[in-house]
Copies of this chain bind each other. A is one copy, B any other.
Amino acid sequence: VTRVLVVGAGLLGTSIGLGLKAKGHTVQLTDKSSSAAALAADYGAGEVLSSEFSPEVIFICVPPEETAQSIIEFLEKFPKATVSDVASVKASIEKAVATRVNSARFIPGHPMAGRERGGAIAGRSDLFVARPWILCPGDHNEVGRLAAVESLIAELGASVVKMSASDHDRAVALVSHVPQAVSSLLAARLAEAEAEDIALAGAGLRDTTRIAASSPELWLQIYAANSLEVNQELKAFRADLDRLIVALDAIGQPGSLAAVNQILDAGNRGVAKIPGKHGSKAQQYQRIVVMIDDRPGELGRLFNEVGALGVNIEELQLEHSPSAQIGLVELFVLPKFAEPLVAGLQNRGWRIAG
């Protein structure tokens, strides 16, 4: 049992509290808004901080622009505690802390998890499950400090990834800050559009603009703190956009379609590199499509036989149309298993499609 203090009762703080309390740790919470702390406590994320509490590990979960100040404050207030944070920018915070206090007890952190909704009531104990959680430890850190934080993160179900603060800021500009900005820019085009036009929107527009619903306050702080890395990526994006616009202006002229195709193709290749996407598994995994009758028990029968063949399924997806006569199960397996699996399933009477 570790005594944990969560500072900041928003989405991340509340989720950490919920997750660690569920694992039997002692969690207390504080927030500059006492009603926010009380709400998170009511929600089950821990007790409101009492004056005699002496935390071993402190998670600073306040907005990015308050994070450095809060880290310093709690390092000083609890001179034995290990302090970590969850802010989406790391280099500027690390520097701000190290220039003002001894940061031997501070392990910079950033869980790659979130939702477009914020606040305690959006908190969930499984928010971090199977998500990367970046830590940026340094040589100045005292021995044992890192292990204490890592162990709690593992209990939240996340996977620790270690990198330098500057590598972090560059990587998140690419995978998080720029997609967020582009989503906002895309959604901004709708702000003055006709409702009848927007009513035609499909899943594509919804998915590409979903995160544009996120809090401007939070993102303003992130962009301010990581503007260099974000702008470098945004300018590379703009260069591609310029190429597309030039090509579309020249449609019908030689080379224009090839230029458009180059971008679409790079998009295909880029999306295929994202882990956890079924399309991406084409490189790593072999895809096998099995037709099943659309009734209870068929999936169990199928996966039993797959298990009996000694094959682990890496990814799967069920295609299931209410009035189709069959369902399609897409299995992604390591390439070496593909051929024996297809043969084994066909021997047992399963229909393989595609």
Question: Could you give, for residues 238-259 of chain A, a 1 whenever the CB lies within 8 Å of some chain B CB and a 0 otherwise?
Answer: 1011101100110110000100
Which residues of chain A in 211-240 are interfacial with respect to chain B, using CB atoms and an 8 Å cutoff? 211-213, 216, 219-220, 223-224, 227, 230-231, 233-238, 240
Instruction: Please state if A316 and B319 are interface contacts (CB–CB under 8 Å).
Output: no
Q: How far is the CA of A202 from the CA of B260 in the complex (A)?
A: 28
Task: Say whether, besides A112-B202, A299-B316, A300-B304, A248 and B230 are in contact (CB < 8 Å).
Answer: yes
Residues on B with C-beta less than 8 A from A349 are none
Instruction: Please state if B178 and A186 are interface contacts (CB–CB under 8 Å).
Output: yes
Secondary structure call for the A interface: helix
Specify the chain B residue showing the minimal Cβ separation from A318. B316
Q: How far is the CA of A263 from the CA of B204 in the complex (A)?
A: 21
Q: How far is the CA of A265 from the CA of B171 in the complex (A)?
A: 25
Residues on B with C-beta less than 8 A from A132 are 199-200, 321, 323
Of the candidates A170, A198, A233, A311, the one having the most CB atoms from chain B within 10 angstroms of its own CB is: A198
Answer whether residue A184 sits at the interface, using C-beta atoms and an 8 A cutoff. Answer: yes
Q: How far is the CA of A244 from the CA of B289 in the complex (A)?
A: 41
Task: Say whether, besides A204-B179, A205-B179, A213 and B291 are in contact (CB < 8 Å).
Answer: no
Instruction: Please state if A176 and B189 are interface contacts (CB–CB under 8 Å).
Output: no
Residues on B with C-beta less than 8 A from A39 are 353
Task: Say whether, besides A124-B354, A130-B324, A235 and B240 are in contact (CB < 8 Å).
Answer: no
Q: How far is the CA of A55 from the CA of B208 in the complex (A)?
A: 40
Q: How far is the CA of A180 from the CA of B22 in the complex (A)?
A: 42
Question: Could you give, for residues 185-209 of chain A, a 1 whenever the CB lies within 8 Å of some chain B CB and a 0 otherwise?
Answer: 1111111011111111110111111
Q: Which residue in B122, B300, B302, B354 is a CB contact (below 8 Å) of A126? A: B354
Question: Could you give, for residues 311-334 of chain A, a 1 whenever the CB lies within 8 Å of some chain B CB and a 0 otherwise?
Answer: 111111111111111111000000
Task: Say whether, besides A227-B251, A244-B234, A300-B306, A328 and B189 are in contact (CB < 8 Å).
Answer: no
Copies of this protein in the assembly total 2
Answer whether residue A340 sits at the interface, using C-beta atoms and an 8 A cutoff. Answer: no
Q: Which residue in B267, B312, B314 is a CB contact (below 8 Å) of A184? A: B267
Q: How far is the CA of A292 from the CA of B274 in the complex (A)?
A: 22
Instruction: Please state if B244 and A181 are interface contacts (CB–CB under 8 Å).
Output: yes
Specify the chain B residue showing the minimal Cβ separation from A163. B196
Task: Say whether, besides A317-B317, A319-B124, A186 and B179 are in contact (CB < 8 Å).
Answer: yes
Specify the chain B residue showing the minimal Cβ separation from A43. B324
Instruction: Please state if A245 and B231 are interface contacts (CB–CB under 8 Å).
Output: yes
Residues on B with C-beta less than 8 A from A170 are 197
Q: How far is the CA of A123 from the CA of B112 in the complex (A)?
A: 34
Instruction: Please state if A159 and B323 are interface contacts (CB–CB under 8 Å).
Output: yes
Instruction: Please state if A312 and B295 are interface contacts (CB–CB under 8 Å).
Output: yes
Answer whether residue A144 sits at the interface, using C-beta atoms and an 8 A cutoff. Answer: no
Instruction: Please state if A189 and B270 are interface contacts (CB–CB under 8 Å).
Output: yes
Instruction: Please state if B231 and A189 are interface contacts (CB–CB under 8 Å).
Output: no
Residues on B with C-beta less than 8 A from A223 are 248, 251, 260
Q: Which residue in B179, B181, B266, B305 is a CB contact (below 8 Å) of A191? A: B266
Answer whether residue A183 sits at the interface, using C-beta atoms and an 8 A cutoff. Answer: yes
Specify the chain B residue showing the minimal Cβ separation from A19. B323
Ranked nearest first, the 7 interchain pairs of A and B with the lowest CB-CB distance are A184-B267, A190-B270, A300-B303, A297-B307, A22-B323, A124-B321, A188-B266
7 contacts between A and B (CB under 8 A): A131-B202, A175-B190, A198-B275, A212-B270, A216-B264, A300-B304, A303-B303
